[in-house]
Amino acid sequence: MNDHIMPTYARLPVVFERGEGAWLWDNHGKTYLDALSGISVCNLGHAHPAITKAIAEQAAKLVHTSNLYRVALQEELADQLCAASRMENVFFCNSGAEANEAAIKLARRYGHQKGIDAPAIVVMEGSFHGRTLATLSATGNPKVQEGFEPLVSGFLRAPYDDIQALEELTDPDIVAVLVEPIQGEGGVRIPQPDYLSRLRELCDQRGWLLILDEVQSGMGRTGKLFAFQHAGILPDAFTLAKALGNGVPIGACLAQGVAASVLTPGKHGSTFGGNPLACSAALAVLKTLRKEKLVGRAGALGDSLASGLRSALSGNPHVREVRNKGMMIGIELDQACPQLIVQALNQGLLINVTADKVIRLLPPFILKVEEAQVLIEKLAGLINHAFTAHTA
């Protein structure tokens, strides 16, 4: 461990040197099957040739000029994202937290334009929107907020997947709802199928903006390019990051309708956001998703993976549920299971546990069928040994 790195992470004792497809190699030559994709970032796997080529070629030409000037690749990327999502415009930044920060500022300014002095945004219990002070305040997890008070005001919290609770809100200062289509960090919580459409109706009735955090669920992870497309609705704004650059940092806040005209020159900015290097990577990601038909593959392979896991874990009384939307998979146990992360690492498998007792799997879309079978066998073996054997 390096004492000169600020200890903001409880890092696992492994150093990776290279990756290819769904596999990583550590500095001792040991291989690991990556079922986490850098937390839904490397959806196309590691060292995808198309992404590597785009980054290398762009790095040799031009990396950065700032947003004081037009950036051709940024304009091309905005065109493609808007065409794919039916949005009107995009603000580019560097991360999911920054994208959500832009969405929060957009909602507040929308409120002020309506004559509301202290606009309020409804956010959900169990949510995660980032670790900047505003996004931390919006996040519905007291653990990550502890020690950082006073939090940013202007957020009203409501239970997730509960339309009635939202209908009962009567605060006249509410201007927007910020919600994840699927809560990732909150435990891979998948709401009722009509949740987003009913939320859209409610926001229309009340004059609230509907803002979706697609930082984890976006870019094909759920089997659609954007998770809201499963519901057949259009948000007023939504955010992207993680897989947008397949590892090259880039975030985006997209908007349409009244939300698209809220942020004007001088009201928001980002030094690095949407620079030529990041945009070249994101354009290559979009091109590869289309060319290799990976979004549809994510949906089908995710369902197959989840089905295989259900079968392999059937009969284990400690497994409450295996749930998925495409390649966003959660295995909920009846007890905390963080120890499985290290046990899996020792067996050459990268997984994550969230909400204490939900194993979160976010494999790359290029995972081969035989690799998916390896994942099922390794993980089911680990869970069944750790828990069934323990109670026997």
Binding-site members are 96-97, 128, 131, 213-216, 270-271
Q: Which of 224, 242, 325, 357 is catalytic?
A: 242
117: its two tokens: 């002095």
Instruction: Yes or no: say if 248 and 55 are a contact pair by the CB < 8 Å rule.
Output: yes
Residues comprising the binding site for pyridoxal 5'-phosphate? 96-97, 128, 213-216, 271
Q: Catalytic site residue 128? A: yes
Distance set, CA 214 to CA 113, 180, 315 (Å) = 26, 6, 34
For residue 323, which of 167, 139, 191 has the smallest C-alpha distance?
191
Q: Which of 34, 91, 92, 213 is catalytic?
A: 213
Measured in degrees and rounded to the nearest 5, phi and psi for residue 212 equal -110, 135
Residues comprising the binding site for N(2)-acetyl-L-ornithine? 131, 270
What number of other Cβ atoms are within 10 A of residue 329's Cβ?
23
Q: Catalytic site residue 34? A: no
What is the DSSP code string of 222-249?
Answer: TSSSSGGGGTT---SEEEE-GGGGTTS-
Q: Catalytic site residue 242? A: yes
Q: Which of 91, 92, 128, 387 is catalytic?
A: 128
Burial degree of 309 (CB within 10 A; 0-12, 13-18, 19+): buried
Residue 385: DSSP 8-state: I
- Residues designated as active site: 128, 213, 242
